[in-house]
C-alpha cells in the first residue's frame, strides 16, 4: 500500500515506486524512502558539462606590447601634456553646448559630392562646411579669435588661422589652415585633405603647425556626441564637433505645425577662457554658426 501523498511525491521527483524498497511496517514505502531514492538517482547522473570557456579577447599587438610596462613619454606626448596643463593652469575654462539641425546640409553634400570630387580632386566631407561657418563667424566675433598676453593686454587677430586637431599614431597634431576665413569651401576642402595627408605620412612641417588663432576638434569622428575639450593654449576658444546622429526631433512644419521628424542632428561645443570670453559671447558665436549651417546656403560654392 502506498499513500496518495507518497505516490504524488514519487511523480514529482520522477521516482519509480517499483524500484523502491520500503522501510515502513511490512515494507511499506514512506515519504523518506522516495526522497532518498530521488537523491540517489541524482547522485548517479553524470555531472553537468562545464560551460564552455569564452573566447580569449584579441589584443592588438601595440596594446599587448605596453601591458605591464613602464616607459618614458615620447617627446610629442610630453609637449602635448605640458601644453594641456599650461592651458588648465592659466585659463578659467568653461564649455557651452548647442545642437544644430544639419539635415539640409547633409542632403546638399550628398547631391554635390560626386561632381565636387570630379572638379576639385578631393572628397567633400562634412568638415569643410563646419570650418567655413566657424571661420566666417570669427570675423564678426573677434573676442573668440584672440589671445591674452602676459602683460594683461588682449590681441584680437585680423586673420582666421584655423587649426584642425587630428589624431595620429604619434599623438594629437594640430595643423593650421591659414587664412581660412578668406578661403572658399573648395579651398578649405583641398587644404584639409593636404594637411591630413601630411599627418598620415609624417611630413608636417613646423610652419604647418604654427600661427593658429582658433582650433576645431572633430570629436565625433569616433562617435562621441560631445566633449568638454581643453582650449589649445594660448588661444582663448576651441570648437568641438560631435557625431552627426539621425534622431526624432520636434520641428515646426509650415503645413503641419509642430510635428516629429527624423533629422540629422549634431552637438557643437565651444570651450573658452572665461577671463576674456563671457557665456553670452560664446552663445552668440555658436548661434552664428548654427544659423549658417542650418540655412545650408552653399549651392553657389558647390556649383548647384
Per the CB < 8 A criterion, the answer to whether 286 and 270 are in contact is yes
Residues with catalytic roles: 274, 278
The answer to whether 279 touches 96, Cβ cutoff 8 Å, is yes
Grid coordinates standing for 68? 605591464
DSSP strands (E only) in 20-161: 93-101, 146-148, 154-156
Contact 141, 239 (CB under 8 A): no
What is the spatial distance between Cα 240 and Cα 215, in angstroms, rounded to a whole number?
A: 9
Residue environment code for 142-169, b if the CB has 16+ CB neighbours within 10 A, otherwise e: ebbbbbbeeeeeeeebebbbbbbbbeee
C-alpha cell of residue 16: 519509480
3-state class (DSSP) for residue 24? coil
Amino acid at each position: 500500500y502506498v499513500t496518495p501523498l507518497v505516490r504524488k511525491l514519487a511523480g514529482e521527483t520522477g521516482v519509480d515506486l517499483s524500484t523502491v524498497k520500503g522501510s515502513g511496517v511490512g515494507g511499506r514505502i514512506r515519504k523518506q524512502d522516495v526522497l532518498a531514492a530521488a537523491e540517489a538517482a541524482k547522485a548517479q547522473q553524470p555531472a553537468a558539462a562545464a560551460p564552455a570557456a569564452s573566447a580569449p579577447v584579441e589584443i592588438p599587438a601595440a596594446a599587448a606590447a605596453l601591458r605591464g610596462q613602464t616607459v618614458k613619454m615620447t617627446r610629442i606626448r610630453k609637449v602635448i601634456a605640458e601644453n594641456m596643463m599650461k592651458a588648465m593652469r592659466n585659463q578659467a575654462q568653461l564649455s557651452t553646448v548647442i545642437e544644430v539641425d544639419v539635415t539640409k546640409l547633409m542632403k546638399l553634400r550628398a547631391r554635390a559630392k560626386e561632381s565636387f570630387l570630379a572638379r576639385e580632386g578631393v572628397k567633400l566631407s562634412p568638415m569643410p562646411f563646419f570650418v567655413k561657418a566657424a571661420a566666417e563667424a570669427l570675423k564678426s566675433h573677434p573676442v573668440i579669435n584672440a589671445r591674452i598676453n602676459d602683460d594683461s593686454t588682449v590681441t584680437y587677430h585680423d586673420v582666421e588661422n584655423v587649426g584642425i586637431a587630428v589624431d595620429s599614431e604619434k599623438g594629437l597634431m594640430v595643423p593650421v589652415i591659414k587664412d581660412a576665413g578668406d578661403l572658399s569651401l573648395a579651398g578649405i576642402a583641398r587644404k584639409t585633405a593636404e594637411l591630413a595627408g601630411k599627418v598620415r605620412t609624417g611630413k608636417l612641417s613646423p610652419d604647418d603647425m604654427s600661427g593658429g588663432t582658433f582650433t576645431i576638434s572633430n570629436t565625433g569622428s569616433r562617435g562621441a556626441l560631445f566633449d568638454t575639450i581643453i582650449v589649445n593654449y594660448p588661444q582663448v576658444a576651441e570648437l568641438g564637433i560631435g557625431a552627426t546622429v539621425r534622431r526624432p526631433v520636434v520641428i515646426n512644419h509650415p503645413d503641419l505645425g509642430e510635428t516629429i521628424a527624423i533629422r540629422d542632428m549634431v552637438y557643437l561645443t565651444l570651450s573658452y577662457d572665461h577671463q576674456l570670453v563671457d557665456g553670452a559671447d560664446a552663445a552668440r558665436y555658436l548661434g552664428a554658426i548654427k544659423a549658417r549651417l542650418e540655412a545650408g546656403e552653399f549651392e553657389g560654392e558647390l556649383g548647384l
